[in-house]
């Protein structure tokens, strides 16, 4: 089904209404049923890999026509390995503990009332995302595990791939006699669909945007629905003077160049001025030799003629590309101050061998994820043992850091008595 522009509002409302209606059966489904659906969906994705690849080839042609950057094309592209990773992600989610029904706390009151706080599904979740078709499986799978209906709005460049992936999930629901309307993909590239979805507060409980700054800012500005926000990934690696050079080289290269286009990629390298002259030359050579453009001030450029001049705007830029800015600092306090002024509260890492500066950094850096002696590219729900993630929340309300199945639940109080009345 392709939505016609004049019908978009009514069709989006129909999608949202049917998702809300279908949610009651999913919200109360047993763990074994939900896990069975996830396992079946994983099998469907594997068995339909040829169709997914054919659809993705059309998406790649469209992306190249739109002149997407190499990093965005990398996000968009699927191969057999990535399709199997999607399938594995769903199986991993199936193996997670079911958060629904978990008793968070319980206590008895002097009057005999028994009170418990229990995890329950949020309800209906709208996910708006760009480029990466694997988000279709991750987001829908996590919503399913947590008992939520999902309404998926992928980017125009990934629509063909996402349609087949959604079909795999919906067919799995049908095989367990649950409504396919629990998982829905908005079948249009028209930007008006996003605006209409953001107005559906009578049906949709939470919006999760996952994409570039432009998308996030638009959602935050227009949404009538609460938003779990995922803003920029301006991630830092800070090399303290006590750092082990071997570790620093490994971590910096991986944090930037493993996949430059993901939100957990390092965008800025900070290094103590005391070790700059000895540590930085081999690190710069590692980066540049592997195709990374390095930008820095005069003191950084003096160490390697291939370094380009840094601009003020660079410190506030999420490149999502093979580019990194480098700055020397006087110590941990200046590093923390720089991150506070220019970071996006996503992920920041310190490379250090001393306990004091490490503790200082981990306590004071106000980000969803802070790390020690490891790559920022581990900022991923799958790597955290969460099976998958719907995104990295940089906000402070409801969820922060990787948003997995548990973060897609809320709670309610259950109060049991035996006839008590309030005086």
Residue 389 has pLDDT above 90, yes or no: no
Is pLDDT at 63 greater than 70 in this prediction? yes
pLDDT value, residue 360:
97
User: Alpha-carbon distance 13 to 230, whole Å?
Assistant: 25
Q: Write the pLDDT tens digit of every residue in 278-298.
A: 999 999 999 999 999 999 999
Hey, what CATH class is 5-228+403-416 in? alpha beta
Exposure string over 342-364, b if 16+ CB within 10 A, otherwise e: bbbbbbbbbbbeeeebbebbeee
Give me the phi and psi of 215, to 5 degrees please: -65, -50
The tokens describing 358, both together, are: 């490490």
Q: What is the pLDDT of residues 139-173, one digit of tens each?
A: 999 999 999 999 999 999 999 999 999 999 999 99
pLDDT, tens digit, for every residue of 176-185?
999 999 999 9
Strands (E), 149-234: 149-153, 183-185, 206-210
* DSSP structural state of residue 387: S
Phi, psi torsion values for 6, nearest 5 degrees: -70, -15
The DSSP letter of residue 304 is -
At the second CATH level, the architecture of 235-378 is 3-Layer(aba) Sandwich (3.40)
Q: What is the pLDDT of residue 402?
A: 82
C-alpha 129/C-alpha 317 separation (Å) is 20
> What confidence tier does 305 reach under pLDDT thresholds 50, 70, 90?
very high
- The yes-or-no verdict on residue 262 having pLDDT over 90 is no
- Contacts with 83 (C-beta within 8 Å, 6 or more apart), sequence order: 45, 46, 49, 52, 53
pLDDT (0 to 100) of residue 390: 79
68-125, pLDDT tens digit by residue? Answer: 888 788 889 999 999 999 999 999 999 999 999 999 999 999 999 999 999 999 999 9
pLDDT for the residue numbered 2: 54
Q: What is the CB-side half-sphere exposure of residue 422 using CA atoms within 13 A?
A: 1
pLDDT at 3 over 70: no
Q: Mean pLDDT in the chain? A: 93
Asked whether the beta carbons of 327 and 297 are under 8 A apart, the reply is: yes
Q: Which helix (H) or strand (E) holds 341?
A: helix 332-342
Question: Judging by DSSP bridges, how do beta strands 347-351 and 308-309 pair with one another?
Answer: unpaired
pLDDT-based confidence at 381, cuts 50/70/90?
confident
Domain positions in the chain:
5-228+403-416, 235-378
Positive or negative: CA dihedral 77, 82, 87, 93: negative
């Amino acid at each position: 089904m392709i939505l016609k522009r004049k019908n978009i509002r009514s069709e989006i409302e129909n999608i949202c209404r049917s998702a809300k209606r279908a949610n009651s059966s999913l919200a109360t489904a047993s763990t074994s049923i939900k896990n069975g659906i996830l396992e079946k969906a994983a099998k469907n994705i594997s068995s339909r890999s040829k169709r997914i690849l054919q659809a993705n080839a059309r998406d790649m042609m469209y992306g190249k026509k739109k002149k997407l950057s190499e990093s965005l094309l990398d996000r968009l592209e699927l191969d057999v390995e990535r399709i199997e990773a999607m399938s594995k992600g769903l199986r991993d989610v199936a193996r997670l503990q079911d958060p629904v029904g978990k008793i968070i706390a319980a206590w008895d009151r002097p009057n005999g009332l028994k009170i418990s706080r229990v995890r329950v599904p949020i309800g209906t979740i709208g996910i708006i995302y760009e480029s990466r078709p694997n988000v279709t499986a991750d987001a829908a799978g996590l919503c399913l595990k947590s008992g939520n209906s999902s309404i998926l709005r992928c980017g125009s460049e990934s629509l063909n791939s996402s349609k087949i992936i959604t079909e795999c999930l919906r067919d799995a629901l049908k095989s367990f006699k649950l409504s396919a309307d629990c998982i829905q993909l908005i079948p249009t590239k028209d930007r008006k669909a996003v605006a209409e979805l953001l107005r559906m507060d009578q049906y949709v409980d939470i919006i999760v945007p996952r994409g570039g700054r432009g998308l996030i800012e638009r959602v935050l500005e227009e949404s009538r629905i609460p938003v779990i926000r995922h803003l920029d990934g301006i991630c830092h690696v800070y090399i303290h003077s006590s750092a082990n050079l071997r570790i620093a080289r490994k971590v910096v290269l991986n944090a930037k160049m493993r996949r430059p286009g993901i939100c957990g990629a390092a965008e800025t390298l900070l290094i103590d001025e005391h070790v700059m002259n000895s540590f930085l030359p081999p690190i710069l050579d590692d980066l540049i030799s592997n195709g990374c453009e390095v930008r820095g001030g005069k003191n950084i450029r003096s160490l390697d003629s291939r370094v380009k001049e840094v601009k003020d705007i660079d410190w506030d830029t999420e490149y999502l590309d093979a580019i990194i800015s480098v700055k020397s600092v006087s110590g941990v306090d200046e590093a923390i101050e720089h991150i506070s002024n220019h970071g996006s509260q996503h992920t920041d890492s310190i490379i250090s061998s001393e306990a004091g500066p490490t503790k200082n950094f981990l306590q004071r850096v106000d980000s969803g994820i802070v790390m020690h002696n490891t790559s920022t590219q581990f900022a991923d729900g799958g790597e955290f043992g969460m099976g998958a993630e719907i995104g990295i929340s940089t906000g402070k309300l409801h969820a922060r850091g990787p948003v997995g199945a548990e973060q897609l639940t809320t709670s309610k109080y259950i109060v049991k008595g035996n006839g008590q009345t309030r005086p």
